[in-house]
Amino acid sequence: MADVLETILQRSSATRLAEPAPDRAQLETLLRAAARAPDHGRLAPWRFVVLQGEARGVLGEAMAEVMRQRTPDAAPEVLEGERRKALRAPVVVAVAAAARPHPKIPEVEQLAAVAAGIENMVLAAQAMGFGSMWKTGAAAYSAVTKRALGLDEADQILGFVYLGTPLARAPVRPAEIDAVTRWL
């Protein structure tokens, strides 16, 4: 298992993913890593939908339907391309935030907790030797997708985490801090 700081500094997205995917026990470890994110008020605002094998088709169909609604004259090949997107990795985990009105904890904090959970998940995946890519797109913001995945309409999908064995990875981006930091 890689050192935490090394994993963080060396993290990059996997641009091509294949089998073998994390198995059930490894996926549970990844979900637990996500659920260990800082969580103000212990609201557990995350919701996970794990799509493996044929089940990825549910997401693919939703992506095609969202494209069809946005572009009614989209060619069949375009819709088929959307369907295939969900097959780009052996496992896709849809991560949503069930942020709800709370007297003390604003929505932004609940969303932040779920985003931190996604980052925990991708870092854990990399530390375990897997690759991942955090994606969204129009389907993430559509009620069609939420319905297809069994999420509540009020939930907000923050990411589709594509997981598998990396065949290609993006170069590690330099972590630029000078232009965005003031030292006082």
User: For residues 12 and 29, which CB has a smaller minimum distance to ligand FMN in the complex?
Assistant: 12
Q: Cα separation of 135 and 115, whole Å?
A: 12
User: For residues 13 and 110, which CB has a smaller minimum distance to ligand FMN in the complex?
Assistant: 13
User: For residues 61 and 134, which CB has a smaller minimum distance to ligand FMN in the complex?
Assistant: 134
Q: Output the smallest distance, CB 137 to ligand FMN, in A.
A: 5
13 touching ligand FMN, by CB under 6 A: yes
Neighbouring C-beta atoms of residue 139, cutoff 10 Å = 27
Q: In 36-155, where do the E strands start and end?
A: 46-52, 91-97, 131-135
Q: Cα separation of 30 and 121, whole Å?
A: 5
Residues 120-179 that bind ligand FMN (CB under 6 A): 133-137, 159, 170, 173
Q: Which helix (H) or strand (E) holds 14?
A: strand 14-18
Q: Output the smallest distance, CB 184 to ligand FMN, in A.
A: 28
Residues of this chain that interact with ligand FMN (CB under 6 A) are 12-13, 133-137, 159, 170, 173
